[in-house]
């Protein structure tokens, strides 16, 4: 019986290590949103700088990056296990709009809501940038501009997603986005 447990433990250990070894041997790109700088107001527009990095071991292909207004209900924020300070921002937005977001408060099941519902307290916007191919460990800093709109009205909740159309092959498609939340 002891031999069975030893074999089982060894099998679990080996199985756990295999994906890491396979990932290193497999040639693929892996683009991440490394950083979103705090938005700034410059010459009548919101300006947001974003850093994208290829953490894979192969050169990426050129692709699109999307920045957009992120509207979350409190329930969605809790499911994402967001920090309490971020949930407070979402609660304030809901209260500013005169609607407290509970589980059934939003009309849609999706996090990526366009400005079509009655519960959206700020203007929906989106911006796109094309980025060139990136070599392994190479980064690029890109600038998004949202004309004639201050995205801290009332607070700032944005998301940046790389390759929103899933057009390029990557090692990991789960790490292609990052959110930014701040008080207005």
d(CA 143, CA 46): 10
Phi-psi region of 5 (alpha: psi -120 to 50; beta: other; left: phi over 0): alpha
Report yes or no: 93 and 121 within 8 Å, Cβ to Cβ.
Answer: yes
Residue 9: the pLDDT is 39
d(CA 66, CA 33): 11
Residue 117: the pLDDT is 39
d(CA 34, CA 102): 32
Residue 22: the pLDDT is 39
Residue 75: the pLDDT is 65
Residue 114: the pLDDT is 35
Distances (CA, A) of 64 to 30, 51, 52, 142: 14, 14, 11, 11
Residue 11: the pLDDT is 36
Whose tokens are 């408060």? That residue is: 105
Whole-prediction pTM: 0.68
Q: Which stretches of the chain score pLDDT less than 70? A: 1-25, 72-78, 80-82, 85-87, 89-122, 184
Q: Provide φ and ψ at 9, rounded to 5°.
A: -65, -45
Q: Provide φ and ψ at 18, rounded to 5°.
A: -60, -45
What burial letters (b/e) apply to 106-136, b meaning 16+ CB within 10 Å? beeeebbbeeeeebbbbeebebebebeebeb
| Per-residue pLDDT reduced to its tens digit, 2-52 | 444 444 334 334 333 333 433 455 799 999 999 999 999 999 999 999 999
d(CA 101, CA 119): 8
Q: Which domains does the chain have, with CATH numbers?
A: 29-71+122-182 (2.60.40.10)
């Amino acid at each position: 019986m002891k031999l069975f447990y030893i074999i089982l433990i060894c099998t679990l250990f080996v199985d756990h290590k295999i994906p890491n070894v396979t990932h290193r041997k497999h040639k693929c790109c892996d683009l991440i949103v490394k950083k979103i700088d705090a938005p700034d107001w410059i010459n009548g527009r919101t300006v947001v700088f974003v850093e994208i990095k290829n953490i894979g071991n192969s050169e990426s292909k050129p692709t699109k990056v999307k920045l957009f207004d992120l509207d979350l209900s409190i329930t969605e924020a809790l499911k994402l296990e967001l920090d309490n300070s971020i949930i407070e921002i979402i609660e304030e937005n809901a209260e500013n709009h005169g609607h407290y977001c509970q589980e059934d408060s939003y009309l849609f099941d999706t996090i990526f809501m366009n400005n079509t519902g009655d519960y959206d307290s700020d203007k929906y916007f989106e911006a796109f940038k094309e980025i060139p191919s990136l070599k392994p460990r190479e980064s690029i800093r890109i600038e998004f501009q949202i004309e004639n709109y201050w995205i801290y009205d009332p607070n700032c909740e944005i998301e940046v997603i790389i390759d929103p159309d899933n057009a390029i092959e990557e090692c990991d498609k789960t790490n292609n986005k990052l959110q930014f939340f701040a008080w207005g």
